[in-house]
């Protein structure tokens, strides 16, 4: 039981650190990029610019905050359930990390949506005209991508017997 407490504490502390990093980069973006200022990091490739995103990528669901609230609460609850059920063995450490990334990214953007009714985005991958995004979006994207890879190539069905209810 002591190990479970350490595991849970580590998850919460690491998540708080990732969320704080995301919030810090957003505050920096507001301060340095507000008023239409752009910072070109790599010409025609990568630019930093401020955007108040009231929807999702490509502006979809603009103004539909309640949808984001419901999805985020559901995903966060599901990930917390998974974290509290993951066996404390090395084999499950990659799953712990991807849950940490997705949870932290979801909460990072959720905090923005609740407090400001928009998400601060500031990273623009100009080369492919990709939607402007933020650090929390990176957490979610990388976490989901790695989760798919883990499910396809690392874990097997029997690795998830811990999710079955005990009778």
Q: What is the pLDDT of residue 5?
A: 85
Q: What is the pLDDT of residue 1?
A: 53
Q: What is the pLDDT of residue 156?
A: 92
Q: Domain limits of the chain?
A: 2-163
Q: Say how far apart CA 22 and CA 25 lie, in whole Å.
A: 5
Average pLDDT per 10 consecutive residues for the chain, totaling 167 residues:
81 98 98 94 96 78 82 95 89 95 97 94 94 96 97 92 73
Concerning whether 121 is annotated as a catalytic residue, the answer is: yes
Concerning whether 159 is annotated as a catalytic residue, the answer is: no
Single pTM value for the model: 0.90
Q: How would you class 152 by CB atoms within 10 Å of its CB: exposed for 0-12, middle for 13-18, buried for 19 or more?
A: exposed
Annotated catalytic residue: which of 129, 137, 157, 159? 137
Q: What is the pLDDT of residue 122?
A: 97
Annotated catalytic residue: which of 22, 112, 121, 129? 121
């Amino acid at each position: 039981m002591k190990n479970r407490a350490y595991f849970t504490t580590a998850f919460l502390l690491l998540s708080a650190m990732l969320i704080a990093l995301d919030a810090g980069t957003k505050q920096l973006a507001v301060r340095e990029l507000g008023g239409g200022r752009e910072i070109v990091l790599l010409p025609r490739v990568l630019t930093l610019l401020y955007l108040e995103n009231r929807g999702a990528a490509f502006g979809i669901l603009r103004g539909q905050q309640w949808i984001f609230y419901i999805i985020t609460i559901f995903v966060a609850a599901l990930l917390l359930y998974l974290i509290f059920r993951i066996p404390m063995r090395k084999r499950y450490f990659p799953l712990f990390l991807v849950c940490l990334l997705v949870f932290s990214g979801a909460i990072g953007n959720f905090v923005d949506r609740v407090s400001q009714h928009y998400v601060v985005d500031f990273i623009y991958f100009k080369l492919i005209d990709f939607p402007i995004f933020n650090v929390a979006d990176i957490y979610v994207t990388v976490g989901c991508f790695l989760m798919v890879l883990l499910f396809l190539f690392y874990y097997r069905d029997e690795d998830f017997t811990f999710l079955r209810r005990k009778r």
